[in-house]
Amino acid sequence: MEFKEAKNKFVQTWGALGSQWGINKTMAQIHALLMVSNEPVSMEDIMEELQISRGNASMNLRGLMDWGIVYKEFKAGERKEFFTAEKDLDELAVKISRERSKREIKPTLKILKEVSTIEAKDSAEEKHFVDQTTKLYDFVLKADNMLDKITEFNDNWLGKLFIKMMK
Amino acid sequence: MEFKEAKNKFVQTWGALGSQWGINKTMAQIHALLMVSNEPVSMEDIMEELQISRGNASMNLRGLMDWGIVYKEFKAGERKEFFTAEKDLDELAVKISRERSKREIKPTLKILKEVSTIEAKDSAEEKHFVDQTTKLYDFVLKADNMLDKITEFNDNWLGKLFIKMMK
DNA sequence: TTAAACTTTCAAAAATAATTGAAAGTTTGT
DNA sequence: ACAAACTTTCAATTATTTTTGAAAGTTTAA
């Protein structure tokens, strides 16, 4: 396999994976492209490589920057903007974890708290509901706290998590 | 908040969350409904509660069974089928992890292996590509192995993971 | 201050995904 | 073997999401 083919395959694969995780295909593809580029890429180049419109590129780049995993760069003497991706994978994982926690897990916990604390009356049905949503709340909370812990460290985080938890 | 309202809120929330994770809304809603039901639910009841068509219910139930997190049940004397969800949350997490690994991570690893082992010539661009995709491969592999480990156990898995890894 | 070079926005269009419902399929009891 | 009771399938429809492209906005240099 030659370079161009490999790069394309990687970008396509990463894009397809993105869809399965609720991230739109183009956004994931742009991210993939930037991840494997050794130098900052202009919007023009992104449009060209992925065959997408200017508006599309602009919006998805903004999305990636909101996630904190793509940065704007400026080149001396150049007026246009360039973009780079976070390339450190531990850092990438940390950013994604933090953001998903903030956007999805925290709001879900809030709702779970609400619904699990209703007055449970006497019916088995209602008791089961309260019981199950309470368990769910505890489970999600535990999982989220673990993510928090993980993101406190940067490399070899599992090892360090160990130590932290043994205290 | 009264029971019916709480139940509805939970089902809606779980459904919305599903979309963000690449699972379709109805599938997540059915799952939510079954999770908090203390007894098996018929297709008829699911259709009624979620206001969806028979075809929709049928297809999404099948999807949930493919994930291994919803089961068919038969009631004595009843011709029709009933459904229940896996309610043990550790077990649920294990099932989802295994399935995502099989469906998404393993195929991705295969591609990452392929693209990271191209002949890297001498350009900095190609070298960076190989370097970055190799790191990605290692990272994803490590993450997947961790999931594997986690799924070997059933409850208190984090504690047991500890023990296993200390050996 | 003007205009060139660039980016963002957003309504409309296109693409994709989910849903319906009725016909076809299956199973069970008589 | 029949038919009642149920489930599955899938082409057509509907809903949702993504993409486009041109107008509006912004920044910089002269």
What pLDDT, on a 0 to 100 scale, did the predictor assign at position B149?
75
Asked whether the beta carbons of residue B104 and residue A10 sit closer than 8 angstroms, the reply is: no
The integer distance in angstroms from the CA atom of B116 to the C1' atom of D23 is 44
pLDDT for residue A100 is more than 80: yes
| Strand nucleotide closest to residue B26 (CA to C1') | C18
Mutate to test the interface with B, among A2, A3, A35, A156 (most CBs of B within 10 A): A3
A40-80 per-position pLDDT tens digit: 999 999 999 999 999 999 999 999 999 999 999 999 989 99
The integer distance in angstroms from the CA atom of B67 to the C1' atom of D10 is 22
What pLDDT, on a 0 to 100 scale, did the predictor assign at position B146?
81
Nearest residue on chain B to A5, judged by CA atoms?
Answer: B115
B46-103 per-position pLDDT tens digit: 999 999 999 999 999 999 999 999 999 999 989 999 999 999 999 999 999 999 999 9
- C-alpha distances in angstroms, B66 versus A43, B62, B152? 41, 6, 20
In Å, how far is A134's CA from the nearest CA of chain B?
11
What pLDDT, on a 0 to 100 scale, did the predictor assign at position B158?
60
Please tell me what DSSP assigns to residue A77.
T
Those residues of chain B whose CB sits closer than 8 Å to some CB in chain A are 1-3, 6-7, 9-10, 13, 17, 19-22, 35-38, 87, 89, 93, 104, 108, 111-112, 114-115, 118, 121, 124-129, 132-133, 135-136, 139, 146, 158, 162, 165
For B50-84, the DSSP string reads: HT--HHHHHHHHHHHHHTTSEEEEE-TT--SEEEE
- C-alpha distances in angstroms, A78 versus A33, A139, B41? 21, 51, 64
pLDDT band at A22 (very low <50, low <70, confident <90, very high): confident
Asked whether the beta carbons of residue B139 and residue A89 sit closer than 8 angstroms, the reply is: yes
Cα angle B55-B56-B60, degrees, rounded to a multiple of 5: 115
B69-73 own/partner pairs: CB under 8 Å, 24+ apart:
B69/B31, B69/B95, B69/B96, B70/B30, B70/B31, B70/B34, B73/B40
Asked whether the beta carbons of residue A128 and residue B104 sit closer than 8 angstroms, the reply is: no
Please tell me what DSSP assigns to residue B128.
H
Residue with the larger pLDDT of the pair A44 and B162 = A44
Task: Name the packing angle between helices A43-50 and A25-35 (round to 10°).
Answer: 120
User: Which amino acid type is present at position B143?
Assistant: A
Mean pLDDT score, A141-154: 78
SS3 assignment, position B21: coil
Residue for token pair 């023009």: A44
pLDDT for residue A82 is more than 60: yes
Q: What value does the mean pLDDT of chain A take? A: 91
pLDDT band at B162 (very low <50, low <70, confident <90, very high): low
What pLDDT, on a 0 to 100 scale, did the predictor assign at position B163?
56
B55 touches strand D (CB under 7 A): yes
Mean pLDDT score, A134-162: 77
pLDDT for residue A153 is more than 90: no
pLDDT band at A115 (very low <50, low <70, confident <90, very high): very high
What pLDDT, on a 0 to 100 scale, did the predictor assign at position B122?
83
B8-55 per-position pLDDT tens digit: 999 999 999 998 988 999 999 999 999 999 999 999 999 999 999 999
pLDDT for residue B130 is more than 70: yes
Report strand pairing: B81-85 vs A81-85: unpaired
pLDDT for residue A89 is more than 60: yes
Beta partners for residue B41, in sequence order: B83
Worst-scoring range by mean pLDDT, A27-36, A77-86, B152-161? B152-161
- Residues of B with Cβ-Cβ distance to A13 under 8 angstroms: 108, 111-112
Element housing B122 (H / E): none
B155 touches strand D (CB under 7 A): no
